[in-house]
Each structure stands twice: as structure tokens, then as C-alpha cells.
Structure 1
């Protein structure tokens, strides 16, 4: 299973002072050294953490150092973001919903209600050889719609599982298992992320149909105490144990 390390909250800390440190690009390089299989970053419309320059610098740094670890750009399906993606050419674009007032992404895309928009949007990205993933709730109808609009992959929103208590935890885990199995049988790649941490990631990582997890906040938060290298290493180790790889 691949681990995508989201570097957004390195930039969150930097933007608190509008200064130059900590540098999310340096964080990306440390994460890769520690075993990250992908670098994920979310360029939000309000630029609350990652800035345009970060994205361009990351791509340039990878090109200059011949780093082949893929870049996954999370973004809203807007014309502004499309133009940026077509200029930078990340390996993957993950389309996510955005609300200006939200603290973090609160749910998945409503693909069913935006089929025509998404179909055209995805077509334009794929014409530039960008793989397209849709961030979505574990819902069979939304999975069917994601296939209809031409997505290469889905990323299951694990937030409800991460926030669940008591018996609700298993209920949400079962939803993820069923959605992952359904999507895989339909022939679409399955990823997952949101709210995953060192305590709850194990059970999600055991779901064999899920090929990739994207995790940011918990890794960056724990890097304060563990150091970023060790924080990534520890997360990767938990995932590998869940998959029976160590």
C-alpha cells in the first residue's frame, strides 16, 4: 500500500507568521527520504496554507533532482485550478469540494449532481496525461457516477470513520470495506484518506482493495514531537504491518 504524505500543514504553520519557514518543500524531501510513496498538497482557492509558488517549486525541485515520487494535487473543480494543473502537470489531480468557511474538507464531492461539469473537467485533465481521482463518500451511486464521468480512481472519505465512537466505528469501517470492494469490482482504483492517524489507520490499511492512503495532519502534528522523518517512518510501519508486509 502506498502512503501519500500531505504537506499542507507545514505550510499552515508557515502562514501563521507569513514567513519562509517551515518550508513545505523541505518537508516533502524529508518525507520521501523516510519512505513516502507520494507527496500530496491541496491548493485551496483561499490559499490558506499551500501557495502557488509551493506547487511550482515542488515540481521544479523534483525535476532538478530527478525525483520520480508522484505529486498528487488536491483542488476544487474550478477553471482557475484547471489552468494551474495544466501548467504544472502533477501526476494526479484529486478533485475535492471546497467551502470557504470550512476548517477542513467536510465531505466528498457530489458527483451525481455535477456529472456534466466533471465529465468535461476530467477529460481536459486526462488529455494532458494527468490521472484523475475523485474524493467521495463511500456510496455506491457516487462510485457509479465517478466511473460514468471518466475518473481513473476514487479516494474514499474516511472522515466519518475517523470521527466515529463506540459501535459506530465498526459501522463506518464496514461502509468503507463495502465501498472499496464495490469500486474495485467495477474496475476503478481505490484510495482513501481524511482524519486518519496512528490509532485508527491500521484497520483501514487492512482493506485489500485500497491501494493508497493520503495522510497529512496527524503526521505533521506528531512530527513536532517525533521529527518528520520518524513520523513518516512510523506511519509507514503501521501500514506495512496491516498489510502483512513486515
Structure 2
């Protein structure tokens, strides 16, 4: 029997709602605890440079929670000295390097690793030397996958946002790009993850790519939780993933 694809739940936007009014409610750490109880295999959180949702104290509390639960925390982070220092202080199970621009609403694309190897490779090495599993969030292109391998990453997370927003023949072409990138990454010895924009329909589509071992889903699940509750939303996502042959 094949090993089930892991589900990482991103709880950033619980913090977005909290920060809209200040205070402590709703608590992203409580959301993480509920997500783990509901069947999430791990928790993902993005500490942005402007702290627009997750904060430093959230990362500290999430690190404790995941350590106590024996489940991985995946810290999404920009390639900056500040974020590297924070990651080295907390030493989460995994660190995923992502692009970041102050003016964007959310992450708009993959990290441009190709052409920036000299800047990214030392950060990857520092994280890996500290015992973290290093992932790079990239577009599904040969150049980016080969660059991820060159800088020493252990994991690539393929950006699925474009796939999720396309339809018809355009979506089919993008799926082929994702499949080709996943196959190349696997052949190079990289573990393959996928994420961004996935929902109950598109998440199972990613499982048709046999190299994919983990999906990271956040905004959609937190949105669904408004209507059905977080536990129910995660149960439904897990069921949709498990239904894929």
C-alpha cells in the first residue's frame, strides 16, 4: 500500500483575522493544535518581514507546540539575514525559502533560484547544517529545479497557483509542466511538495503526480473553516486526498 501524501496546514490567515482588530483572538496556535488533532501531518507558518500575520511570538509558541506533539513545523521565510537568524534560533523541522515583496497581497510566484545561486546557497547550507530540512518554493521549470539541486536543497515545493487559476486546455498544459518538474526533481534526488491555491478539487489533482509527497494548504482551509469549522474542513480535505487511487 502506498504511503499517504502528507497534508501540511498553513495557519497564517488565522493570524490575519486576529491582527485585523488586535488582541489575541483567534489564536493561530489554537488553530494549529486543532489542525493536528484533525489529522494534519504538520503545520506551516510564514513569518513575513512586515509581520502582517504570523508574529515572532507565534513562531515561538508554534515551535513549542509542534515539538510537544512530535509533529513538524515548516517555517516559510524570505532569504534574509534576519529570517535566517530566527530560523537558526528556533530550528524548526523544515524551512521553506519563498519570495517576498512588501506590496504583494500574498506570495505571487516561485522563488527565482536560477540566477541567484550565490545568494541562496549559503542560506540553504546554514539551515541544513543546523539540522533543518530545506525546501525551495519554485515555479515548475527545468531551470528552477536544476538550480534547487545545485544549491543543495533537499525539497522543492512546486507553485500550483497558476494551475489552480487556469481552466481547460491551459490548465492541462500547466499540469504537464508540474508533472515534468516533479519527475525532474525526483530524478535529481529531491523530495517533491506542492502548494498554493489548492482546494477540494485541485488538491487531489496533484496526487495524480506520483512524485508528490506533501501538499501545503492554508488560505482555502481557513476560509472553509468559517463555514464548517477547521476540523471538518481538514477532515474533508484528507478524505479527498485519500480517495485518490
Deviations 1:94-132 (A, max 9, x none): 000001000111111111121011111111111110110
Matched residue, 1:106: 108
Q: Contact (CA 8 Å) 2:139, 2:159: kept in 1 or not?
A: yes
Match of 2:84 among 82, 85, 93: 82
How is 1:16-165 mapped onto 2 (pairs within 5 angstroms)?
16-63=20-67, 66-165=68-167
Looking at structure 2, the residues matched to 99 and 58 of structure 1 have their Cα atoms a distance apart, in angstroms, of: 24
Give the CA deviation at 1:67. Answer: 0.9
How is 1:190-201 mapped onto 2 (pairs within 5 angstroms)?
190-201=192-203
Looking at structure 2, the residues matched to 206 and 223 of structure 1 have their Cα atoms a distance apart, in angstroms, of: 26
Deviations 1:73-110 (A, max 9, x none): 00101000000000011000000000100011111111
Q: Contact (CA 8 Å) 2:74, 2:94: kept in 1 or not?
A: yes
Local SS of the residue matching 2:48: coil
Local SS of the residue matching 2:107: coil
Q: Is 1:202 aligned to 2:204, yes or no?
A: yes
Looking at structure 1, the residues matched to 76 and 45 of structure 2 have their Cα atoms a distance apart, in angstroms, of: 6
Looking at structure 1, the residues matched to 212 and 79 of structure 2 have their Cα atoms a distance apart, in angstroms, of: 24
Taking structure 1 as the reference length, the TM-score comes to: 0.96
Which contiguous aligned blocks of 4+ residues in structure 1 show a shift greater than 6 angstroms?
A: none
Looking at structure 2, the residues matched to 222 and 142 of structure 1 have their Cα atoms a distance apart, in angstroms, of: 33
Matched residue, 1:175: 177
Local SS of the residue matching 1:73: strand
Q: Is 1:5 aligned to 2:6, yes or no?
A: no
Unaligned stretches of 5+ residues in structure 2: none
- What root-mean-square deviation, in Å, do the aligned CA atoms of Structure 1 and Structure 2 show? 0.9
Looking at structure 1, the residues matched to 188 and 53 of structure 2 have their Cα atoms a distance apart, in angstroms, of: 36
Unaligned stretches of 5+ residues in structure 1: none
Local SS of the residue matching 2:34: helix
Looking at structure 2, the residues matched to 235 and 91 of structure 1 have their Cα atoms a distance apart, in angstroms, of: 23
Q: Contact (CA 8 Å) 2:11, 2:31: kept in 1 or not?
A: yes
Deviations 1:118-171 (A, max 9, x none): 111111111110110000000011111111100001000001101102221111
Q: Contact (CA 8 Å) 2:203, 2:215: kept in 1 or not?
A: no
Looking at structure 1, the residues matched to 207 and 232 of structure 2 have their Cα atoms a distance apart, in angstroms, of: 19
Aligned residues: 241
